[in-house]
Structure 1
Amino acid sequence: MTDRLLTLAHALDAFGDVPLADLQRQALEIAAWRAALPERLRYPATSALRQALAAAVAWELIDENPAKKAGKNPQPKAREIRPLTVEELGRVVGELGDAAHGPLVNFAAETGLRPCEWLALERRDVDRAGRVMYVEREHVAGETKAYLKATASRQAFR
């Protein structure tokens, strides 16, 4: 089951038995349901409900989306990720006890590349003289493909 379906399940538990014609007039009930959700579920569950009800509007099953009338659904701020300190990174590499993987851990940590990016790197992507590395491909679902980011957002890592 996808994350979207799992979050929609919360709305189905609350409103699954309510006919659409009745649900259309229940913006206040939807707002109360949203407020009672745990904070970590509030945004995704409400988004899933809003999307499902937007489809009902598009299919002309209801006139208005009651989840939109229930109020804004602000996306929570992303949690700040604290990078490992040099000492912590050293302990991780030391615990690996594997000379082959230690440099890879250091490389990934120092560059900040995503695994899909560093898995697809080739020798031609590294300009040792210029001390630059280019990310041109990504490795996703067992396949290496050309990187799909817009040219403007691609970067050379120094």
Structure 2
Amino acid sequence: MSSRQKLPPHGTPERYRIERKTGTTCDRCKARMAALRKEQRANAAAAEARAQMHIVEPPSDDTVNDTKPATTRKAGQNDRRKVGEMETAVEKDIEEIDAGLQVPFHRSLSVLARQLARDIDEPSTPPNVRSQYSRQLFEVLRSLRTQKEGDDNSAVAVALQAAGFGVPLVP
């Protein structure tokens, strides 16, 4: 008596290969192989995307205190970012601010303004998001231009005057 070879379970690649050789593939095996191939394509696409990513090195100690960003950054050997029109304008606006009138969190607000300008200049940013970024950038730039609390043109002074409390006496 000859023993019959036991087949692998349905839905496995081995069973699919055997069925393909005999010319009789079941729907369950076909569907499972289609799903496996789809996963393989997705994994290959994700691997390709990961291969194109670059690790950004942390800044050295001498560049941490620098408020001006580099005009180009290295993401690869020949891959350099172009500085856009909005980012250039924001850089000029930030440079025009007098050191004596800088608001608290000036550096943080400056970095935020630069990042918003980069996002606005980015061609892949959708128009509706770009308009939101523009409004946020306007508010950040206004915050950078507002004098310290207690000065005549500060946001606090204007709010207090509008509420009828007069000019605050904070030095």
Q: TM-score range by the shorter chain?
A: under 0.3
| Normalised TM-score (structure 1) | 0.23
Higher relative strand content:
1
Q: Which has the higher contact order (CA 8 A, sep 6+)?
A: 1
| Normalised TM-score (structure 2) | 0.22
Higher relative helix content:
2
